């Protein structure tokens, strides 16, 4: 269950970051924020990789185009935010859990039972209710 | 409704990225995948910034905040990718999405003493149910 500890800490860090980014984008471009985040992230993740003894091979270079897709996704999200309300755009974006889950179930033959289906349904409803609520 | 097209595009691509990370994690270290993903992202982003001539100037307060944000996002994503390497993507991605939606609401309620509406409360109950079903 080590993954539960990792994901709990990840949620705490990523949620804290959202609060910080909200204050930053009032002063500077969201794309500049992303640029500086990546600039700081690269040496940090390199250090984390060394600490965990990660071994590289040439196949890891395939992750570079993955970075292109990732940054396009974030850019589309920001443009969506510019053209619509946060309370509408954010829940739609957070539904990416459905895409990942469906692809994983189809291609990796991941477990797919009533418990997982209920978990997914509760997750989607929760994101819709909280993300779409007027604050 | 143009926002919906952008939001749906972003949703589909983000979901695809996490699926590919899971696929890579069978053979590669998730942290190295994240490292090279960041390298790819900064390359494309630099081109965009140059093309749009976006100002990168920061004042002193912003420097501290940007540094903190870089630390939080990279450490958070590192842990997320490590979790993806250890468990099913359908569980990890769902809990992460629910968690990052719920936690800011809890922060607002517990720290800022903001009101919780019926809709928000129902959302929190569903979030707890989701996490229970996927982890126990």
Q: CB–CB of B21/B91 below 8 Å?
A: no
Across the 135 residues of chain A, what is the mean pLDDT of every consecutive 10-residue run?
92 88 83 92 95 87 93 88 77 85 87 85 86 63
Q: Is A28 on the interface with B (CB under 8 A)?
A: yes
**Residue-wise pLDDT tens digits, B60-74:** 888 999 999 999 999
Query: Which value, to the nearest 10 degrees, does the dihedral of the CA atoms of residues B31, B33, B37, B38 take?
Result: 20
**Residue-wise pLDDT tens digits, B58-115:** 888 889 999 999 999 999 999 999 999 999 888 898 888 888 888 878 877 787 777 8
Report field, pTM of the whole predicted structure over 0.95: no
User: What per-residue confidence (pLDDT) applies to A135?
Assistant: 52
Instruction: Determine the average pLDDT of the residues in B22-36.
Output: 92
Residues of B in contact with A36 (CB under 8 A): 56, 58, 66, 69-70
**Residue A118 belongs to domain spanning:** 85-135
Res B23 pLDDT > 80:
yes
User: What per-residue confidence (pLDDT) applies to B98?
Assistant: 85
Could you tell me how many residues make up chain B? 136
Q: Is A47 on the interface with B (CB under 8 A)?
A: no
Tell me the nearest-neighbour CA distance from B51 into chain A, angstroms: 12
Do B71 and B10 lie in a common domain? yes
**Mutate which of A71, A90, A91, A115 to test chain B, going by most B C-beta atoms within 10 A?**
A71
Q: CB–CB of B93/B18 below 8 Å?
A: yes
Provide the number of structural domains found in chain B.
Answer: 2
Do B53 and B109 lie in a common domain? no
- ipTM, interface predicted TM-score of the complex: 0.87
Do B78 and B99 lie in a common domain? no
Q: Is A87 on the interface with B (CB under 8 A)?
A: no
Do B71 and B108 lie in a common domain? no
Q: CB–CB of B91/B135 below 8 Å?
A: yes
Do B27 and B76 lie in a common domain? yes
Res B11 pLDDT > 70:
yes
Contact criterion met (CB < 8 Å) for A83 and B46: no
Contact criterion met (CB < 8 Å) for B23 and A37: no
Tell me which residue in A17, A101, A112 faces B76 most closely, judged by beta carbons.
Answer: A17
Residues of A in contact with B56 (CB under 8 A): 32, 35-36
Do B78 and B110 lie in a common domain? no
Judged on CB neighbours under 10 Å (0-12, 13-18, 19+), A100 is buried
Please report the residues numbered 33 through 72 in chain B whose beta carbons come closer than 8 angstroms to any beta carbon of chain A: 33-46, 48-49, 52, 54-59, 62, 65-72
Provide the number of structural domains found in chain A.
Answer: 1
């Amino acid at each position: 269950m080590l993954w539960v500890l990792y994901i709990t800490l990840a949620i705490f860090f990523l949620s804290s970051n959202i609060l910080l980014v909200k204050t930053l984008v009032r002063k500077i471009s969201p794309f500049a924020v992303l640029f500086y985040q990546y600039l700081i992230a690269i040496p940090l993740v390199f250090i984390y990789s060394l600490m965990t003894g990660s071994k590289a091979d040439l196949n890891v270079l395939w992750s570079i185009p993955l970075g292109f897709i990732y940054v396009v996704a974030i850019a589309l999200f920001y443009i969506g935010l510019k053209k619509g309300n946060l309370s509408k755009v954010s829940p739609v974006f957070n539904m990416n859990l459905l895409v990942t889950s469906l692809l994983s179930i189809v291609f990796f033959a991941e477990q797919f039972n009533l418990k997982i289906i209920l978990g997914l349904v509760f997750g989607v409803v929760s994101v819709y209710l909280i993300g779409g609520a007027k604050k | 409704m143009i926002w919906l097209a952008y939001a749906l595009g972003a949703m589909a691509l983000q979901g695809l990225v996490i699926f590919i990370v899971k696929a890579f994690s069978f053979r590669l270290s998730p942290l190295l995948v994240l490292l090279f993903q960041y390298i790819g992202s900064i390359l494309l982003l630099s081109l965009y910034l140059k093309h749009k001539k976006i100002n990168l100037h920061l004042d002193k307060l912003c420097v501290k905040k940007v540094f903190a944000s870089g630390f939080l996002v990279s450490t958070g994503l590192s842990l997320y990718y490590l979790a993806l390497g250890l468990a099913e993507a359908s569980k990890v991605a769902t809990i992460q999405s629910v968690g990052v939606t719920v936690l800011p609401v809890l922060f607002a309620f517990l720290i800022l003493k903001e009101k919780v509406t019926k809709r928000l409360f129902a959302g929190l109950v569903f979030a707890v149910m989701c996490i229970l079903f996927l982890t126990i």
